[in-house]
Amino acid sequence: MTKPTKQTKAGGSKPLAAKRQKFIDEYLVDLNAAQAAVRAGYSDATARQTGHKLLTNADIQEAITERRAALSTATGVTVERVLREAARLAFFDVRKLYRPDGSPKQLNELDDDTAAAIQGLEVATIGNKDVGFGEVLKYKVADKNAAIEKLFKHLGMFDRDNAQQAARAPLRIELVPLQPDAPAPED
């Protein structure tokens, strides 16, 4: 594994300290700064603060960004691909699981978008030798609501809604105690 380097003012390069490099490696495992700090050898007692401080370091941020870009390229996992997959789930149409006569399609008959929404398949054989045998397919499909919610978050649609709610004037209710000699309010 190559060590990320930072450019010095003289134009040379200086490797990151081994402990900081270990923090970067560990941070990329689960994106948990406190746990990465502990696994890199920093104190358990101050791991949260240390992890936060390390993440604010420009050299570490640059190394993390470079490594994430390299991982994205190597694995093909990009923002665009993740969004495309979320959209496939969000816009899945259950009617595409069936033929025009209402019988379920086999997996090899499904288009790519429909197949992407399938989480599982149960196949049961029913019947007997007198009447014949048949198969029942039971598809388990992905949660459309979860996919739609993720797209909402990505598009900032919750932020806009929350901003609109915050912009509304709050309802103000003031409770005033009754004076002992004041008449009671009439209904």
**CATH classification at residue 63:** 1.10.10.1400
pLDDT at 34: 94
Closest CA to 146 of 93, 96, 85: 85
Q: Are residues 64 and 109 in the same domain?
A: no
Portion of the chain with pLDDT greater than 70, in percent:
78
Q: Considering its fold, how many domains does the chain have in total?
A: 2
In this prediction, residue 10 has a pLDDT band, given cuts at 50, 70 and 90, of very low
Mean pLDDT of the region 102-111: 89
Domain of 134? 85-144
For residue range 11-60, list pLDDT tens digits in order: 445 678 999 999 999 999 989 999 999 999 999 999 999 999 999 999 99
- Mapped onto helix, strand or coil, the DSSP state of residue 15 is strand
Residues 6+ apart with CB under 8 A from 85: 116
Q: Which residue has the higher pLDDT, 161 or 104?
A: 104
Last residue of a domain, one of 77, 101, 119: 77
Q: Beta-strand (E) ranges in the chain?
A: 5-7, 13-15, 118-128, 132-141
Q: Are residues 94 and 134 in the same domain?
A: yes
Q: Which residue has the higher pLDDT, 27 or 138?
A: 27
Portion of the chain with pLDDT greater than 90, in percent:
37
CA of 58: how far to CAs of 7, 70, 104, in Å? Answer: 12, 18, 55
Q: What is the C-alpha to C-alpha distance for residues 57 and 41, in angstroms, rounded to an integer?
A: 18
Q: Are residues 42 and 102 in the same domain?
A: no
Q: What is the C-alpha to C-alpha distance for residues 74 and 59, in angstroms, rounded to an integer?
A: 22
Q: Are residues 19 and 46 in the same domain?
A: yes
Average pLDDT, the chain: 82
